[in-house]
Amino acid sequence: MLNGIKSTLTHLTVLSTCCLLMACASQGSPQSGIIDGWSMDIGGSLQVVPSPDQDFIAIAAGANDTVALKRDGSVVAWGNNQAGQCNKPASNKDFVAISTGNIHVMGLKRDGSVFVWGGNGSGQCNVPQPNQDFIAISAGGCHSVGLKRDGSIVAWGANSRQQCAVPEPNKDFIAVSAGNYYTLGLKRDGSVIAWGDNGSGQCSVPSPNQDYISISAGEFHSAGLKRDGSIVAWGQNDHGQCYVNAPNKDFVAVAVGSLHTLGLKRDGSVLAWGWNEYGQCDLPRANSNVISIAAGGNHSAWLKRDNTIAAWGYNHNRECSVPVPNQDFVSVDAGSNHALGLKADGSVCAWGRNDAGSCDVPQPNNEFVAVSAGGGHSLGIKSNNTIVAWGNNSFGQCGVPAPNQNYIAVSAGFVHSVGLKNDGSVVAWGSNMNLQCDVPSPNQDFIEISAGHQHTAGLKRNGSIVAWGDNSNFQCDVPSPNQDFVAVSAGDSHTVGLKRDGSVVVWGSNYFGQSNLPVPNQDFVAISAGAFHTVGLKRNGSIAAWGYNPTKACDIPSPNQGFLAVSAGTNQTVAIRRVYPFAGQVKLDSF
């Protein structure tokens, strides 16, 4: 959706003289790479899930962020970054344990000291002295808890519900877990002690209070793992989060989220139960070989035996982000709330919000040559030149007209779809409220198309652009001279054109500065119009972005180089970055 960057294969077919998508496409077959993405939903920045070959040994999920510990003792974090909790700590080494709360992160160092970063409004980052001899940590809502080598607990930060007031005798503890406004402590004798807020019964440990070997505190409910492999949960149970809906045996770990619970079985499989509105209980495929689990606010994550991480569920801050393995992508397209990536093997990966199944790629997931993400639907072209559509079909945007054949390009708008045939004609279907599906005559000689929010733009073989549909912001009035264009992209209420000389022309709404051209306006090889921002790929592999930026969609991560393709969505930008071979590995940094 909202961009003029479609499949590399398609553009190389219809625009053989122009390098519009891949910076080095003229070398032959399209180069593949990894996906970077950036955005900041209000209050938090997008952090992409790291690639699978980063040697992780531990994982923790917070309210809206995820933190992982690498074998080398460094920490990686992604998701909501409103308080800097996803920023790498100043001394990012020698960590042996991690924990994340609402807006802060704790790290336990090899020397027994604790380092805390992120939000500190309640003093949760102010580690009491002496900062030594810690053996375990846990981050709560706005308080922090540490277990000392002598079996005592130290707690600091918010204490409005007495969540930091450790009951006497403060000794013989072997584990600790901090919830939202309460804390759990596990004693050496297998009993659980709880203190702080008990409004939902989360501190009322059921009888018999014995034989526990691990504990987990959430927002309003708690869980403990017994020596016999069973799980006991108590507290708020309005979504069944305290009821183990399976044979309650053979568990080796438990993790409590906001309103859901995860359990890890001895065979390496995971069970999930409780609230599932965001898919936090919808376990990924290949549910095996898991060695660690983490339940966040409304998302879940696991660590596998091969040191790879998967995350799923609520992704408003991109806690779950790009699917792994993040490699071999040749095309990418960002929609309103989801994105599609086309792989070199012809398969499609989808991530983001799964409105009406927009991320459920139909089977067989192969032989795709182009993809486009719309408002809540997705489009793909197969190698036989037919279109496959899935997701929201409330306006008929997924109902490809007959005959479904001879397509070479496709573009998904907000609630309409457009396809380009190999004879140069355009077919449009779906919502036609603003006549965005009424292709003007003569319907011929088109070589590129782009569907915006309520308007459509097409590039003709002679280098001119034709636009139709909603023109309330003059987004369909192509400036003179209407010639020498080599690419076009339609946004929400503005349109972008790329000229043969590498300059960019933008027209329509400029309310957010999306039409303010960057300086120098030269050397562009690809463009993409988002809802209210615009991005362009330069010949040197760098990206320029301008316009609406409260979500940080225009803040290109460093280093701004090596990009092959870029696509602007509603509140986010995604791009493919060239993979430089080093030790046969692919690395995707968090930002």
pLDDT of 590 reads: 25
Strands 270-274 and 33-39: unpaired
Question: CA-CA distance, 384 to 375, in Å (whole number)?
Answer: 26
Amino acid at 31: Q
Taking 70 as the pLDDT cut, the residues of the chain under it are 1-54, 315-326, 579-591
Other Cβ atoms closer than 10 A to 146: 27
Do β-strands 338-343 and 329-334 pair in parallel, antiparallel, or remain unpaired? antiparallel
Q: What residues contact 450, with CB distance under 8 A and at least 6 apart?
A: 3, 4, 411, 418, 456, 457, 458, 488, 489, 490, 529
Sheet containing 533-538: which strands, arranged edge to edge? 524-529, 533-538, 543-547
Query: For residue 24, what pLDDT is reported?
Result: 27
Is 529 within 8 Å of 568 (Cβ atoms)? yes
Query: Tell me: the pLDDT tens digits for 111-147?
Result: 999 999 999 999 999 999 999 999 999 999 999 999 9
Global pTM reads: 0.57
Burial of 235 (0-12, 13-18, 19+ CB in 10 A): buried
Strands 465-469 and 485-490: unpaired
Task: Output the pLDDT for position 6.
Answer: 29
Sheet holding 114-118, edge to edge: 95-100, 104-109, 114-118
What type of residue sits at position 149?
R
Question: Which structure tokens are listed for 186?
Answer: 């596990």
9: helix, strand or coil = helix
Q: How far from 573 is each of 53, 121, 215, 350, 546, CA to CA, in Å? A: 24, 31, 40, 15, 11
- Chain mean position to CA 471: 33
